[in-house]
């Protein structure tokens, strides 16, 4: 039994504890040492996640590198981990983005330039010095804690273990949103940040409580039929061979309990309202963690748990969920067009993108689900690039309002260029990574639900509007007074953006490494719900010498 997955999850967890326990100090040197330790831990986690993805054999078993440790024997709960192709690529995405977020957030937890420094730091009181000494340790420790919990969620093959970490990641995220907010938020930022953090926590806790009831219901139903376990593989196997029959009404209720929690996390319209507040009031790095990492757990869980455990209910509710995802695509894009705040624009754009992801999942075609999985990865990379460059811009100008910008490309051309690439990726320009995934989702949806597929293409037009209008209003035109002194990207910031831009281009022209990992898992998921791709309406017939056979 390999221990690779548990070690991969344990490294950032141990790193969080180590970072939080580092000797307190208010000097720049000690803050730099704390950041270096956290960044080093995230680099080790990246290497381990990459090894796990490399060791996954697409032609092998559905779940590989499996581990199982007894936890609560009386309820059949084991700490079980295993990776399939979908989990492997999303865990790798997480491990790639965390060090990028740390580099981008290098100074986000430092004392603000306007904060008064004590004349004699050594003699400062414990209460006055606590904030400056512990703020950096806390910020980077929370990021590592989120990474550890997200990795366990992608690797967990026990329903109860997944639920525990699915909920536990809310705690560090709550403190990241509420305790380390955007300094460009204005005089009312502390109150707005507190409101956003509480709203995030309450929405997701409500979803988690509904899921907990469904988890208990699933266990009771399984135990009554002699399958008293939370092990995902055992449950899906019992469902497939008929040993576990949940029944129509019960299966639908349990499906809705799981799906509700995942839809809140995703987020799916109309359960999305916490996201613009959370992203708007967070630092740019925390906003990336929310939309590019944590929210992906919701869409991933729809594939692994909703379709795997409740195949009949998934097919029953698929048309309704496709309509909701379609509303989310159009609604999110329209609200993005009307935004005055840069970060809230990116948040509403993400709501539109999550609509595409959920549409691909419940179209239940191989193209749709492969596209949805690629979309999770590509959206994470491209939105991270767009948001982080936006964060660099906001930190320079001190404002999130679009109206405060203009002519940035004349004074900071590299910043403007990378911002343009992020925007073009967001509108799925051919040659950039999101195009491949969006194309697959639309093709996969059209083959089974042509009307929904046609309407969804309208979201591409709207994406072009909000992305290009944002660029035009902030980067082109005459240079506004507050923009004249904005410096271009620095070396550290280039180190943040360069790998994201490179991945966006690479996966746009050569997505095969990801599709090779993902496709076998997609095929296994479709077989669980007894779905095959629709046959072509006009089959192609073999011909020879110009004559049809």
Whether the per-residue pLDDT at 122 is higher than 60: the answer is no
Quote the percentage of the chain above a pLDDT of 70.
91
**Would you place residue 539 in the very low, low, confident or very high pLDDT band (cuts 50, 70, 90)?**
low
Residue 134: both structure tokens together = 């512990």
What would the DSSP string read from start to end of 458-497? HHHHHHHHHHHHHHHHHHSSSPPGGGTT-----HHHHHHH
CA distance 372 to 528: 17
Tokens, residue 127: 């209460």
The lowest-confidence range among 160-169, 231-240, 287-296, 468-477 is 231-240
DSSP state of 302: I
- Residues, the chain, total? 549
Reduce the DSSP state of residue 225 to 3 states and report it: coil
pLDDT, mean over the chain: 86
Distances (CA, A) of 263 to 66, 186, 297, 446: 28, 31, 10, 23
∠ Cα 112 113 116 (to 5°)? 85
HEC states along 345-408?
A: HHHHHHHHHHHHHHHHHHHCCHHHHHHHHHHHHHHHHHHHHHHHHHHHHHHHHCCCEHHHCCCH
pLDDT digits (tens, 9 = 90+) for 505-519: 999 999 998 999 999
C-alpha–C-alpha distance, residues 68 and 234, integer Å: 13
CA–CA distance, 104 with 102 (Å, rounded to integer): 5
* pLDDT, position 537: 63
Please give the average per-residue pLDDT across 189-212, as a whole number: 89
Nearest to 339 by CA among 465, 518, 448: 465
The rounded percent of the chain whose pLDDT value lies above 90 is 56
d(CA 442, CA 219): 37
Cβ within 8 Å of residue 348, ≥6 positions away: 276, 332, 333, 335, 336, 339, 466
Q: What is the pLDDT of residues 336-354, one digit of tens each?
A: 999 999 999 999 999 999 9
Q: How much is the pTM?
A: 0.89
Please, are residues 343 and 287 in contact by the beta-carbon 8 Å criterion?
yes
What is the band of 228 on the pLDDT scale with cuts at 50, 70, 90?
confident
* 548 pLDDT higher than 50: no
Residue 44 · residue 11 · CB < 8 Å: yes
> How many angstroms separate the CA atoms of 185 and 402, rounded?
13
Token reading at 223? 């135990």
Give the up-direction half-sphere exposure of residue 429: CA atoms within 13 A in the CB hemisphere: 16
């Amino acid at each position: 039994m390999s221990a690779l997955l548990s070690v991969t999850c344990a490294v950032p967890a141990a790193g969080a504890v180590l970072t939080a326990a580092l000797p307190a100090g208010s000097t720049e040197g000690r803050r730099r040492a704390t950041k270096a330790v956290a960044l080093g831990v995230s680099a080790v986690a990246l290497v381990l996640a990459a090894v796990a993805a490399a060791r996954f054999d697409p032609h092998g078993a559905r779940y590989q590198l499996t581990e199982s440790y007894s936890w609560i024997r009386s309820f059949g709960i084991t700490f079980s981990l295993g990776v399939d192709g979908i989990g492997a690529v999303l865990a790798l995405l997480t491990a790639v983005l965390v060090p990028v977020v740390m580099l981008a957030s290098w100074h986000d937890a430092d004392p603000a330039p306007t904060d008064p420094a004590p004349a004699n730091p050594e003699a400062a009181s414990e209460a006055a010095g606590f904030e400056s000494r512990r703020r950096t340790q806390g910020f980077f420790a929370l990021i590592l804690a989120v990474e550890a919990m997200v990795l366990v969620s992608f690797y967990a093959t026990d329903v109860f273990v997944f639920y525990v970490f699915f909920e536990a990641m809310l705690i560090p995220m709550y403190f990241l949103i509420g305790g380390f907010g955007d300094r460009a938020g204005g005089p009312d930022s502390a109150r707005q940040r507190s409101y956003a953090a509480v709203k995030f926590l309450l929405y997701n806790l409500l979803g988690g409580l509904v899921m907990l009831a469904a988890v208990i219901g699933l266990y009771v139903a399984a135990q009554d039929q002699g399958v008293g376990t939370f092990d995902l593989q055992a449950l899906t196997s019992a469902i497939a061979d008929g040993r576990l029959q949940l029944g129509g009404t019960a299966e639908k209720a349990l499906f809705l309990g799981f799906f509700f929690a995942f839809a809140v996390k995703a987020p799916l319209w109309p359960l999305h309202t916490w996201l613009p507040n959370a992203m708007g009031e967070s630092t740019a790095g925390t906003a990336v963690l929310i939309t590019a990492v944590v929210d992906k757990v919701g869409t991933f869980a729809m594939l692994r748990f909703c379709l795997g455990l409740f195949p009949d209910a998934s097919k029953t509710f698929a048309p309704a969920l496709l309509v909701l995802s379609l509303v989310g695509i159009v609604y999110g894009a329209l609200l993005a067009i009307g935004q005055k705040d840069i970060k809230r624009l990116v948040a509403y754009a993400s709501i539109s993108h999550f609509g595409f992801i959920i549409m691909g999942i419940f179209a239940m075609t191989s193209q749709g689900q492969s596209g949805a999985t690629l979309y999770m990865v590509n959206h994470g990379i491209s939105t991270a690039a767009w948001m982080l460059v936006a964060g660099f811009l906001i930190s320079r100008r001190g404002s999130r309002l679009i109206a405060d910008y203009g002519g940035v490309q004349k004074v900071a051309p590299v910043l403007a260029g990378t911002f343009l690439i992020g925007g073009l990726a967001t509108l799925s320009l051919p040659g950039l990574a999101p195009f491949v995934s969006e194309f697959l989702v639309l093709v996969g949806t059209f083959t089974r639900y042509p009307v929904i597929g046609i309407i969804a293409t309208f979201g591409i037009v709207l994406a072009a509007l909000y992305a290009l209008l944002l660029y035009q209003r902030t980067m082109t035109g005459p240079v506004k007074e507050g923009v004249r002194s904005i410096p271009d990207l620095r070396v550290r910031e280039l180190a943040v953006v360069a790998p994201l831009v490179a991945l966006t281009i690479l996966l746009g022209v050569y997505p095969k490494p990801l599709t090779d990992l993902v496709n076998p898992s997609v095929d296994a998921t479709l077989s669980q719900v007894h779905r095959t791709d629709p046959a072509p309406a006009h089959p192609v017939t073999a011909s020879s010498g110009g004559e049809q056979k």
